[in-house]
Amino acid sequence: MKKKKTNTIAIYAVATVVIAATGVGILLSNADRTTCLKNAFGQKHFDEASFSDLIPESCTIFTASFGVKVYFGNNEDWINPNTYYWVVPPTNEDYGVVYFGFDNFWPQGGINEKGLAYDVNALPKSPLNPHPELPKIDYPFYENLKKYATVEEVINAVKSHSWENSWKAQLHVADKTGDAVIISAGPDGEIAFTRKQKGNGYLVSTNFNRANPKNGRYPCWRYDTAVTMLEKVQDEDDLTADCFRSILDSVHQEGPSANTVYSNTFDLKHGIIYLYHWHQFGEVVKLNVAEEINKAPSPTRIRDLFSQKTVDQALKEYLTYRKKITAWENVLWAWLIMAAGSVAILIWRFTHGTQVFWSLRMVWVLIVAFFGPLGLMSYSYSCRQPLRSQDLQPAMAKWKCAFGETMFGVVGQATGVALAFSTFYLILSFPESSPLSIAMRVYGLPLIVGLLVFQAPFMTSVMGSPYWDAVARLIEFMRKTPGNEGAW
């Protein structure tokens, strides 16, 4: 009796964890988005919209020079609408800088008083070789804007230090001479420098590693569009702030899961910033770098620089996409409630007469948690017994065996895939492009979970054989399956 009670408690625990984790995740997601909107759009609008937590592709950055003109452009694509700019005044040792970013005030990009600018593209993690013979870097990259005036100085500083053991970004740096570089992890594990050609020309970066395109999202439509438009710049008159605005507009992102939250063009020769809010390119705010550094204003929300018309238009455009998210959220909530009810009914069946091996009970809880009412129906048709039946091994029709094993296999694979792309990925830090990483996450873990946690217990219940004998039988079966002989 004590063992039976312990098993029942374990089943309740599994069900509670599965359902509670899903519900809490949704609640925290909604709470974070609500706070975000309240700060970004004001009290009267925050309850009308919220933002997806999906991580989008982020940022398109490009530099171009022709004759005496040099421009630097950036689209900041993200999910946080709380965007700011702030000023770090100069000191006897440091240059003054205008930074741009979010409400955590970790700079995403910026420009200093000498015309040196940078921004960052997000990338999958890529390893770097250790260099213990070099001094370890003891400051974040954005501090380079305080220390240096040219791209060449930044390159020398990067080369003379030892960095982390991996990078998850590439850095796009340009100066007022027209020099520009993309700094990233190379395929050989060394820091790579992708330089803009000297003189007239351009350099573009998006979310694939320019030194190693396998690291990231390649090909990229935003990259191709920017390159095509920059190729049309044939003389100095073609290269203008308006030209850069049109490119930023052409590669901006908007939708339920991604938005260009701000855009900027820097005239590096003259120290002028052209700023746009929320991909609303009909209104531009011009800032003078020297004047901003002299004024040293407190951190300022970017939206506060724009007219109410532009801010309202940004919200209106977003709400169009938000309606789609709301519909899907309602569907997910309804499914969560039905899944919770189905799990409760299943547990009631377990505790009111239906006799099933305790290990199978755990598995069926997961199946019903995944498939809700469909999972409960599957249990009812394939494993149901008369109430008060004490028979743990009822005779099962072949179709029931086949149907039950199929359900166990499907959920086993689904559980394995979920683990592969969450817990397993976080524990083992393989390089993103590693074949071993891909093979183990996508094929190995689902196979192991499906075999040990789902299929073997099912065979144990049907055939009455010991657990490890069932595992051995399944492995032997897979080994003899046509097409698998050479893999064993």
Digitized pLDDT (tens) for each residue of the chain, 488 residues in all: 445 444 444 444 544 444 444 444 444 444 444 344 344 444 333 333 333 333 346 799 999 999 999 999 999 998 788 999 999 999 999 999 999 999 999 999 999 999 999 999 999 989 999 999 999 988 899 999 999 999 999 999 999 999 989 999 999 999 999 999 999 999 999 999 999 999 999 999 999 999 999 999 899 999 999 999 999 999 999 999 999 999 999 999 988 778 899 999 999 999 999 999 999 999 999 999 999 999 999 999 999 999 999 999 998 887 877 777 778 788 888 888 998 999 898 888 877 765 666 666 777 787 788 788 888 887 777 665 544 444 444 445 566 666 666 666 666 656 666 665 555 445 554 444 455 665 666 666 666 766 776 667 766 766 667 878 878 887 777 666 555 444 44
List Cβ neighbours of 415 (8 Å cut-off, separation of 6 or more): 366, 370, 446, 449, 450, 453, 454
**Same domain membership, residue 272 and residue 242:** yes
In a domain, 51, yes or no: no
Q: Which of 273, 306, 339 is the last residue of a domain?
A: 306
Q: What pLDDT is attached to residue 316?
A: 86
Q: Which domain CATH number covers 132?
A: 3.60.60.10
In a domain, 471, yes or no: yes
**Same domain membership, residue 284 and residue 382:** no
- Beta strands 180-185 and 191-195 are antiparallel
**Same domain membership, residue 95 and residue 68:** yes
- How many angstroms separate the Cα of 52 from the Cα of each of 48, 154, 219, 366? 14, 36, 25, 27
Q: What pLDDT is attached to residue 180?
A: 98
Q: What pLDDT is attached to residue 371?
A: 80
**Same domain membership, residue 296 and residue 343:** no
In a domain, 49, yes or no: no
d(CA 280, CA 302): 12
Q: What pLDDT is attached to residue 256?
A: 75
**Same domain membership, residue 9 and residue 149:** no
Q: What pLDDT is attached to residue 387?
A: 43
In a domain, 318, yes or no: no
**Same domain membership, residue 333 and residue 259:** no
Number of domains the chain is built from = 2
Q: Which of 306, 340, 355 is the last residue of a domain?
A: 306
- Pair of tokens at residue 301: 């929300």
Q: Residue type for 361, please?
A: R
**Same domain membership, residue 120 and residue 209:** yes
**Neighbour count for residue 287 (Cβ, 10 Å):** 17
In a domain, 488, yes or no: no
**Same domain membership, residue 254 and residue 363:** no
In a domain, 75, yes or no: yes
Q: Which of 253, 271, 306 is the last residue of a domain?
A: 306
**Same domain membership, residue 104 and residue 220:** yes
**Same domain membership, residue 290 and residue 148:** yes
**Same domain membership, residue 83 and residue 14:** no
Domain region containing 149: 60-306
431 φ/ψ sector (left φ>0, alpha ψ -120 to 50, else beta)? beta
**Same domain membership, residue 300 and residue 272:** yes
The pTM for the full model equals: 0.70
Q: What is the pLDDT of residues 386-416, one digit of tens each?
A: 444 444 444 455 666 666 666 666 666 566 6
Q: What pLDDT is attached to residue 471?
A: 81
In a domain, 487, yes or no: no
In a domain, 11, yes or no: yes
Residues 203/182, Cβ–Cβ less than 8 Å:
yes
- How many angstroms separate the Cα of 320 from the Cα of each of 22, 46, 329? 27, 15, 15
Q: What pLDDT is attached to residue 212?
A: 96
Q: What pLDDT is attached to residue 473?
A: 80
d(CA 215, CA 220): 12
